Structure 1
Amino acid sequence: MKIGLLTQWYAPEPGPASLPTGLAEGLAARGHEVTVLTGFPNYPHGRIAEGWKQQRRLDSQVNGVHVRRVALYPNHDQSALRRVANYASFAASARMSGLDAMADVDALWVNYSPVTVAWPMLALHRRGIPSVVHVLDLWPDTVLASGLGGGVGRIAERPLTALCDRMYDAGSVVAYISPGVGDVLASRGVPRDKLAYAPMWADEQVHQPQPRATARGWDVADDTLTVAYAGTLGGAQDLETLIDACARVTDLDLMCLVAGSGTHEDELRERARRVGASNVRFVGRLDADGMARLNATADVHYVGLNDHPLAATTMPSKVQAVLASGRPIVGALVGDAADVVRQSGGAAVAPGDVDGLARHLRELSGQGREEAARRGVLARDFYEREFSFDTGASRVEDLLVKAAGGGRRG
């Protein structure tokens, strides 16, 4: 089958590019003829990546995938206007310089975020190409919750909602990554028979089970139960709850390693000092080798989200990454993410529930490292059943076949 992928993000970009890149290469490995329409790499630094020279369009063959790149305005700073220019320039350029690359595909997979991709998608829809619209971030909710653009975001809410509705209407299938998102889409008028559950997977080249370290890093003793957090030290991750809970269990043989950097780093360090969380150690940003050492040292990982309107339907990619690494999760989460943590052998409390998290840390410490390792096996098994790349790619492949089976629209 000839499959097209429409996505602003693609390798060698990190982060949001990993899903479409893995999907494209996985579908090609399954024997499909795959074409990707994307932009020139500029994420996350907001400048064209080293070794690349931007031009109107560029075709290449990469790992069995035909990649059509089109020009865009590179930017990823905090300016709402410049971010919009980045999104809109890709959409306009894809429509002007990329549609011919998709002319003969049997079905199109659309990375729905940012929703400006609606412009080239709808143009291809008018040419009769059926599509699977994959809702990876719920718009316009994501933009409004992030505060991007302030009052401008509120003004844009209605036109963004209308654009989303047009994508849902045009798509042959609308895929979603968590049950809560499916319910929201249904409440917004998307027919249930058009909706399909298709969760994300982790980068399995990076996140694989590792044996526990024989020589543990950061001077952690052999018997010490170790909780790790790795990621952004910002306001959305509810790290205050983790620090305050750790301060209440300093009588236990428990260590918490916090890796990463962010806007709240200094505030979090000061909080740990102020509340007496002597068992919390900040280890800074880690490279790939450092992250591997952290995971080999850790028995449990922490994942948290502040209590915001999207928390109940948000599925942080960190959840899949930790489960793929064969480690259980203790989290401050609600909704779909909390359900997954509990079903995979971990423990979850509501955001801000310091007492509840402290109780779970006490329980985990009392059970010891061997029980944590047993839960880690359950976590990896759950990942294999629900989130693995093979499972996810098969779901998307089936949806594309279903979309193509509906035939081209005249």
Structure 2
Amino acid sequence: MRVLIVSQYFWPESFRINEIALALRDEGCDVMVLTGQPNYPEGVSFRGYSWWSIGSEKFEGLTIFRVPLIPRGKAGAMRLALNYLSFIIFATFIGPFLLRGQEIDRIFVFGLSPILQAIPGIWLAHLKRAPLITWVQDLWPESLSVTGFVSNKMILKMVSRLVCWIYRKSDLILVQSLAFIDPVKKMAGPTPVRYHPNPGDFAFSMTENDCPPPFSVKSGFNVVFAGNMGAVQSLDTILGAAEILRQDKSIKLIMVGGGSRVEWLMSEVVRRGLTNIDFQGRLPLSFMPAIMAQASALLVSLSRGQIMSQTIPSKIQAYLAAGRPIIASLDGEGGRIILEAGAGVVAPSEDVRGLANAILELSAMGKDELAGMGQKARTYYEENFEPRLLAQKLKKLLAMRPGEF
């Protein structure tokens, strides 16, 4: 089966779609990727690439076709809009030229925000007479409203109509969260909608010796937060909990990652005189298993809101795979999974006292009880999010004919 993945982001950028493509390859699919010139997260084109260039390259048995892409820069609103629009335009008009003569059985859109990047997939599906499968990773236009990127009701209504059109032009829609099914169905009309979660990372099949940790944690109860530190991670809640816990010298919060609010977060730690928060910066994914293996517990947090409660943060899969207890400050689907797995404790979103109490609750547990939580986390991961397992399920979905979806 010849599968074309359409995604604005791909290797050497670090996104989950990289491993999904490799997993499909391992399942016997002939995988091609239509993407842009890599520039995420720094906002400048990677060394060896130019934003205006066109071409193809090979990566681990995959064929990657690249169209021009205006770098996102420092992610200001105008530059970010140009970044998104440039992929839609260039992939729509140059993509068919790059893919001329290529036989394609299925087109698979990795639907990160903005979902508008599915438009090139719709055009290519028409030209290649191939079924289109769109994997929705984020709800639109709700995400525009929640993040504050767009507040004009007329614009949001126009975007909503465009999203409806995209969904209805797809032959099958997959959603990364069970809570996405109802809102997507309302917009998708007759297009079938099915749940397909994000898998974990292949990095977690490695042992600690394969990639030793870049730092060692000190003795005590170490809570590790790994991943993006942006507007929706409710960093205020973490700071508030750290202030409550500052008198307990055995508890340390370790922040690993980057994001739009890292500088603000670091300045707040200094301003508030918090010595129980330690920053380790952005590190390669390959280090994460060894870092998480040292943690007493792993921390995930999200802001309050309907769309946030419907989303499953991708770090939850990584945390479950790490086999460590999880402390969550979030509502909805993410919390449901953690509780269903028996993998940790959950406090409501933006509940500072609740998060502090959750950390204290786990810190008071014995090693055997914590180890039991960790084992339940790993078992749940292997049964629900293991990459090869989900690749097999995805291949079966892709192999179906439109009438069978």
| Same fold (TM > 0.5) | yes
1:382 and 2:383 equivalent?
A: no
CA 1:257/1:358 → structure 2, altered by over 3 Å: closer, same or farther?
same
Check conservation: 1:244, 1:272, Cα contact below 8 A.
Answer: no
Specify the alignment match of 2:120 in structure 1: 120
Specify the SS of the correspondent of 1:188. Answer: helix
Q: 2:394 aligns with which of 393, 396, 401?
A: 396
Offset at residue 168 of structure 1 (A): 1.1
Partner Cα distance (1:321, 1:360) in 2: 20
CA 1:256/1:95 → structure 2, altered by over 3 Å: closer, same or farther?
closer
Relative contact order (alpha carbons < 8 A, sep ≥ 6): 1 or 2 greater?
Answer: 1
Specify the alignment match of 2:3 in structure 1: 3
Q: What amino acid maps onto 1:157 in structure 2?
A: L
Check conservation: 1:217, 1:293, Cα contact below 8 A.
Answer: no
Check conservation: 2:300, 2:327, Cα contact below 8 A.
Answer: yes
Specify the alignment match of 1:105 in structure 2: 104
Specify the alignment match of 1:159 in structure 2: 158
Specify the alignment match of 1:186 in structure 2: 185
1:35 and 2:32 equivalent?
A: yes
Specify the alignment match of 1:85 in structure 2: 82
Specify the SS of the correspondent of 2:307. Answer: coil
1:176-210 deviation per Cα after TM superposition (whole angstroms, max 9, x unaligned): 0011111211233544x711111112322267575
Partner Cα distance (1:30, 1:292) in 2: 25
Specify the alignment match of 2:333 in structure 1: 336
1:219-267 deviation per Cα after TM superposition (whole angstroms, max 9, x unaligned): x22xx23222233444432233334334445458433333445143145
CA 1:145/1:208 → structure 2, altered by over 3 Å: closer, same or farther?
farther
Specify the alignment match of 1:236 in structure 2: 232
Q: 1:356 aligns with which of 354, 361, 366?
A: 354
Partner Cα distance (2:256, 2:272) in 1: 14
Q: What amino acid maps onto 2:59 in structure 1?
A: V
Percent of aligned pairs with the same residue? 27
Residue segments in structure 1 that go unaligned for 5+ positions in a row: none
Partner Cα distance (1:301, 1:157) in 2: 36
Check conservation: 2:257, 2:281, Cα contact below 8 A.
Answer: yes
CA 1:183/1:251 → structure 2, altered by over 3 Å: closer, same or farther?
same
Q: How many residues align?
A: 392
Partner Cα distance (1:55, 1:357) in 2: 47
TM-score (norm 1): 0.85
TM-score (norm 2): 0.86
Q: 2:66 aligns with which of 66, 69, 72?
A: 69
Check conservation: 1:59, 1:69, Cα contact below 8 A.
Answer: yes
CA 1:305/1:160 → structure 2, altered by over 3 Å: closer, same or farther?
same
1:294-348 deviation per Cα after TM superposition (whole angstroms, max 9, x unaligned): 4233110111111133211111111111112121211111000110111222111
1:134 and 2:131 equivalent?
A: no
Check conservation: 1:174, 1:195, Cα contact below 8 A.
Answer: yes
Offset at residue 89 of structure 1 (A): 1.5
Partner Cα distance (1:59, 1:269) in 2: 45
Specify the SS of the correspondent of 1:269. Answer: helix
Offset at residue 3 of structure 1 (A): 1.1
Partner Cα distance (1:109, 1:32) in 2: 12
Specify the alignment match of 1:226 in structure 2: 222
CA 1:116/1:234 → structure 2, altered by over 3 Å: closer, same or farther?
closer
1:75-107 deviation per Cα after TM superposition (whole angstroms, max 9, x unaligned): 243332222222222122112221252752111
Specify the alignment match of 2:255 in structure 1: 258
Check conservation: 2:139, 2:180, Cα contact below 8 A.
Answer: yes
Q: What amino acid maps onto 2:118 in structure 1?
A: A
CA 1:370/1:217 → structure 2, altered by over 3 Å: closer, same or farther?
farther
CA 1:231/1:380 → structure 2, altered by over 3 Å: closer, same or farther?
same
Offset at residue 132 of structure 1 (A): 0.8
Check conservation: 2:222, 2:252, Cα contact below 8 A.
Answer: yes
Partner Cα distance (1:109, 1:385) in 2: 24
Offset at residue 350 of structure 1 (A): 0.5
Structure 1 residues 32-41 or 117-126, which shifts more? 117-126
Specify the SS of the correspondent of 1:37. Answer: strand
Check conservation: 2:199, 2:386, Cα contact below 8 A.
Answer: yes
Specify the alignment match of 1:200 in structure 2: 198
Offset at residue 8 of structure 1 (A): 0.9
Partner Cα distance (2:208, 2:323) in 1: 7
CA 1:271/1:402 → structure 2, altered by over 3 Å: closer, same or farther?
farther
CA 1:403/1:142 → structure 2, altered by over 3 Å: closer, same or farther?
farther
Offset at residue 147 of structure 1 (A): 2.1
Specify the SS of the correspondent of 2:84. Answer: helix
Q: What amino acid maps onto 1:238 in structure 2?
A: S
Partner Cα distance (2:279, 2:52) in 1: 42
Partner Cα distance (1:373, 1:121) in 2: 45
Specify the alignment match of 2:283 in structure 1: 287
1:98-138 deviation per Cα after TM superposition (whole angstroms, max 9, x unaligned): 12527521111012232332332222233332111100111
